[in-house]
Amino acid sequence: MVPKGYTAITLFPFVFIKHDFLKGDKRFVNHEKIHLRQQLELLILPFFVWYALEFLIRYLHYRCCSLAYRNISFEQEAYAHEGSLGYLNRLPFWSFMRYL
């Protein structure tokens, strides 16, 4: 279910993870929860369209899959705040827009 090179896939309302021990990793769980919130805020389907389009645009820019992935606004927000466990409680609506 989870593609090679990735540890998890978040498809609201589910998070598919590659390794069970990750469930105990608060930072990892918070990262995926941020994605759940982003998906909800975009009413799910548009999130994936936007995510794929932004990946494509970033890939054309960087010509590197991992750089393109890390620079997607949704990933930038999740990576920037995954260590801040209270982030979801104070996350402004559509806050990923700050990373565009």
Task: Determine the Cα–Cα distance for residues 75 and 10; give it in Å rounded to an integer.
Answer: 12
Distance in Å, CB of 73 to Zn ion, minimum? 11
Q: How far is the CB of 4 from Zn ion (least distance, A)?
A: 16
* DSSP states of 23-80: GG-HHHHHHHHHHHHHHHHTTSHHHHHHHHHHHHHHHHHH--HHHHHHTSHHHHHHHH
Q: How far is the CB of 75 from Zn ion (least distance, A)?
A: 5
Question: Which residue's CB is nearer to Zn ion, number 68 or number 78?
Answer: 78
Nearer to Zn ion, 36 or 61 (CB): 36
Total residues at interface with Zn ion (CB under 5 A): 2
**CA 5 from centre of chain:** 15
> Which are the contacts of 71, defined by CB distance < 8 A and separation ≥ 6?
58, 62
Site for Zn ion in 15-44 (CB under 5 A): none
Residues 64-93 touching Zn ion, rule: CB under 5 A, are 75, 78
Supply the minimum distance, in Å, between the C-beta of residue 49 and Zn ion.
Answer: 17
Binding site for Zn ion (CB under 5 A): 75, 78
